[in-house]
Structure 1
Amino acid sequence: MTDNENEHVKLAQRITDMLCQLNEGKALDTKQLAEQHRVSKRTIQRDINQRLMLALPMLGLNDDGLYALPENYYLGQLNNDDIRHFSILSGVSDLFPNMDRQFLHRILNENAKFVYESKGQFNEDGTKFKALFEQLEPAILKKHKITLYYKGSYHLLEPYKLINHRSCWYLAAVKDEKLKAYRLSFVKELTIHDNQPSFQHSKEILKQLETEESIWFGQDKQEAILTISAEVADHFRQRSLLPHQQIVKEMDNGGLLMSSQYASSVQLLSLIRYWMPHIHVVSPESLQSELMDGLKGYIG
């Protein structure tokens, strides 16, 4: 297991531990959890703010200053399947070696803290979206139309799903029969039209949400061909790091020739910059030119 996988499994261990404590009616003591899992108190606070409170917005501080659920809420109702489902929603399930009952019990064992740890997680602060989540969840489930004040104008939308893409939260919603993504951090006002008839989900939109890997909905995609150096090739073999990536050829020097389907140069260029100098754009030339112009502007 790589260091990165170890770190994510340790994160999963902490989250699962906290979920089980809440399920048993216990309150979360950040200091005690930090000592138990051998991390800083700030790390535990981040776990709660950026992971737990997104799925459990009713989680809050009790009279003793500890994090707890309201009395009789979910107590004793969470099982291994619930914890596994939460892990999927919080984006850590694919980082586990597996998600069976045996593994869940193993990472909850006290000895697991000597084996696993998670570091380097950088996520948007989900606590600021608590009110939006509490409003949008029933609106999505009940298929109520909404109005957002977003980037200076009002948008009448049919909300479909809340999506976390590259650590930022978006609302996938239909406007004028087109699926679009609205970043929650830019939402200033939200109105739920629960006094109006509900809308019906489109099968085409649901299929699009299921198959699309990013939040660049409804845009024609272009193909980029890139070379990946041998030094980092294993990272690209092990997981999809580029949008709709495919290995075109394994090169004699250990590197890769890859293709990527992208909707916007912004979507791909940020990833290319991250992996430089181990990645090079073969085509299209316009993408390579935009990359070089941006680098020259940054340097000069």
Structure 2
Amino acid sequence: MAHDLLAKRLAYILTKLNNGEKFTLKELALEFGTTTKTISRDLNERFIYIPIKKEKNLYSLHEYALGKLNLEDIKNFATISGIKSLYPTLTNQFLTEILENKINKVFLVKNSGFEMIENKKDDFEKLSRAIINHHVVEFLYKDKEKIVEPYKLINSNGVWYLCANDSGKLKTYSFTKIENLKTKEDKFNLNSELLKEIEKDEINWFSNKLKEVQLKIDNSAKDYFLRKKVLSNMKIVEENDQYFIVLTKIAFEDEIINLVKYWIPYIQILSPNDLVEKLNNILNGYIKRTQPVQSQC
């Protein structure tokens, strides 16, 4: 709920900026019923990469970036900006390119994010520019060389993926596992049929090998999971007064691992066993690393 309110506030502020309006911290604070400190954080931290200027306590957007976004772009961008761990720190130059080329052509954010990728900021920007300019990219993935046409950076359940055309087929690559990324001089034309597949918002093109996962979720989180459609292909198979059990299909294990870690203790993996074991190992390792050191008398 807090993320929803934050995203709405950021969308409203971004709309005002995009329309060329000027305002003070106090004016926005009164409008939203919050403090000037909160509004200052919105403008100076959450929007640190936006070309905002300040003149005599009035905030506004630099002229060269005005009017570049439509309503849907603003909603998407505000959502991203409101969830700190969802994106790396973006530069002013990169943001301006995004403003000019429409953010929803580059990114597809399906749910809230948890993956930290700040250490791969340069690659994130490089891929985004390649998508905007339709440049072929080359990289190593699981020790294999890949040359693909990049279509979108997708955040699904907190994990970033590159969706690309590989010899006429849509394939996805976990962004954090991409190494030695290079942008080639070769350019490509977008395949309209592949774009339609992406817009269907289905997981079939994520991978040819989908894994079925059974989850037990506390009813206190039920409204959020149903309203937000956190799991796009979720099917409820059992429910009672305390919890409900769902089946879902995933292409990559990290999606569910990150989701469950975020929602502990309200969610539990029931099957498959190898995924249960993987999560338990992660949690046990965390507990061991964070146990306080006992002082010796």
Question: Is the CA contact (8 Å cut-off) linking 1:60 and 1:67 kept in structure 2?
Answer: yes
Contact 1:165 1:215 in 2 (8 A): no
Q: Does 1:217 align with 2:209?
A: no
Task: Specify the alignment match of 1:249 in structure 2.
Answer: 238
Q: Does the CA-based 8 Å contact 2:217-2:268 persist in structure 1?
A: yes
Q: Which residue does 2:151 correspond to in 1? A: 160
CA 1:224/1:21 → structure 2, altered by over 3 Å: closer, same or farther?
closer
CA distance in 1, matches of 2:204, 2:74: 21
Structure 1 counterpart of 2:123: none
Name the CA distance, whole Å, in 1 between partners of 2:55 and 2:220.
53
Query: CA separation in 2, counterparts of 1:234 and 1:24?
Result: 38
Higher relative strand content: 2
SS in 2 for 1:49: coil
Q: 2:261 aligns with which of 270, 273, 283?
A: 273
Pairing 1:199–2:186 present: no
Q: Give, as a single letter, the amino acid of the residue that structure 1 aligns with 2:77.
A: S
Q: 1:179 is matched with which residue? A: 171
Structure 2: unaligned runs, 5 residues or longer: 98-125, 289-297
State the AA in 2 paired with 1:254: Q
Residues 221 and 266 in structure 2, CA contact (< 8 A), matched pair in contact too = yes
- Cα 1:282–1:148 shift into 2, 3 Å: closer
State TM-score, norm by structure 1.
0.62
Where does the alignment leave 5 or more consecutive residues of structure 1 unmatched?
54-58, 94-117
How do residues 1-300 of structure 1 correspond to structure 2 at under 5 angstroms?
4=1, 8-24=4-20, 26=22, 38=35, 39-40=37-38, 41-49=40-48, 53=50, 59=51, 61=53, 69-71=61-63, 74=66, 83-90=70-77, 92=79, 122-128=85-91, 130-131=93-94, 134=97, 139-140=130-131, 143-147=134-138, 155-165=146-156, 171-176=162-167, 177-181=169-173, 183=175, 190-193=182-185, 196=186, 198-201=188-191, 203=193, 205-212=194-201, 217-242=206-231, 244-251=233-240, 253-300=241-288
Aligned length: 255
Q: CA deviation at 1:158?
A: 0.8
Give the counterpart letter for 2:151 in structure 1. Answer: Y
Would you say the 8 A contact 2:234–2:246 is kept in 1?
yes
- C-alpha displacement of 1:236: 2.6
Q: What percentage of aligned pairs have identical amino acids?
A: 24
Deviations 1:85-127 (A, max 9, x none): 223432649xxxxxxxxxxxxxxxxxxxxxxxx9875443442
* Residue deviations 1:249-299 (CA, integer Å, cap 9, x gap): 222x33101112112322212222332333233322222232333333333
- Which residue of structure 2 lines up, in the alignment, with residue 105 of structure 1? none
Q: Alpha-carbon deviation of 1:247? A: 1.5
Tell me the TM-score normalized by structure 2: 0.63
| C-alpha distance in structure 1 between counterparts of 2:75 and 2:209, whole Å | 29
RMSD: 4.4
Letter of the aligned partner of 2:76 in structure 1? L
The change in CA–CA distance for 1:20 and 1:68 in structure 2 (over 3 A counts) is closer
